[in-house]
Structure 1
Amino acid sequence: MKRRKLVVVSAGLSQPSSTRLLADRLTAATAQEARRRGSQLDVRVIELRDHAHDLVNNMLTGFPSAGLRETIDSVAAADGLIAVSPIFNASYSGLFKSFFDVLDDTALVDKPVLVAATGGTARHSLALEHALRPMFVYLHAVVVPTGVFAASEDWGTESVQGGLANRINRAAGELAAQIDQREPATVTDPFANPTPFTELLADN
């Protein structure tokens, strides 16, 4: 069985949060679909609230803490990404945006991403298409067609078993398919093959 790495980014502010709940359901559905395709997903969940202070410091100084650096590296090394944000004022949260602002420019290139969001009412669902999806497209990620939005009313028993569950399963299937058809992600160490000093000094 193939092994692949899935990283889940949750920007929920409360604990517990509906954002984390949606992230967990998407993760479980994706892992199940991956197993059906013959892959075992090694899952890492990142709670951005745990890195809030480090993110601010990184944006002010330009340098991540050791913990934040390791978290950033895990995203770059992932074979697939699930990104879930609460919606505030018709867009993703500032915490969510801050994290993706500090990633390396190439961290998400050609990486399959499932975008999802939570909000108080279904009116916020368009944020998936006018805020989250364009951001990840700009970062050159491969965003799966189905985005998942969960409003407060979606957490009722009938909704969870019906419409929301259907959207979760469809999006999870699309992400698992994208992960399955790619080679494992590799991250190039920029210091692995330094240019020899003789070459650096050759033009002088």
Structure 2
Amino acid sequence: MYTVTVYAKPLGGIAGCTRVYPDILQAVDKVFRNAKGSVLHDFVVTHIGDRVVSLLVSDGDVEEVIKEAYAVGEEIAEKRKLFKNPAAETSVSLTFEERESEAFVLFLAGSSNNGFWNGLIPKGENQAASAASLMLCRTEGEFCTTAELLETFADESVSARGIAPVSLCDSSIVRTKVTPVVALGFSLGNGMLTGPLDLFDTPLFDAPRFRASQQ
């Protein structure tokens, strides 16, 4: 039985809440790397806008190591006097017996709206969890395929909400009426992660991106 926990918190942004400072990501990553093999089975540190996002695989409590890692990041942000976004921290988690082939997708949104994922989150039992800027979805097997899940974000009704499926490198917060969404794909085997794949980093989502940008 493994728990996949995703935690997101703005620590310090460049040019407001546009994008996280890279040194902060590296510092948070270092703390988790030191905990790998004890508290953590595996982890990935990423971002959306100015939020530092950590995906942690464990079979125990990860609260203390998260607190330690983000405190280091906050110290860097304070020294450089980076913008402190007042948005609250966000976390989601799923606990499950690992399947023979365990696939899941982590969605990151440049939004702090708790209702952002309404109409987008799958409803299968123990398939998905969401909160504000985060959505974690298991795929394949008894669940929908990864492609079926991503297809949702190509729908015109989603584009009409200003939701733009973008690559991680294009996830800066630069529009008020357009919300970037990133999709990162993973496989999990024996508690170890393979990935992420930057799933929206393809011209197949150019049309939805363009429609969303017209809002």
Give the alignment's TM-score, normalised by structure 2: 0.29
Bigger fraction of residues in helix: 1
Larger gyration radius, structure 1 or structure 2: 1
Choose between structure 1 and 2: higher strand proportion: 2
Question: With structure 1 as the length reference, what TM-score do the two structures score?
Answer: 0.31
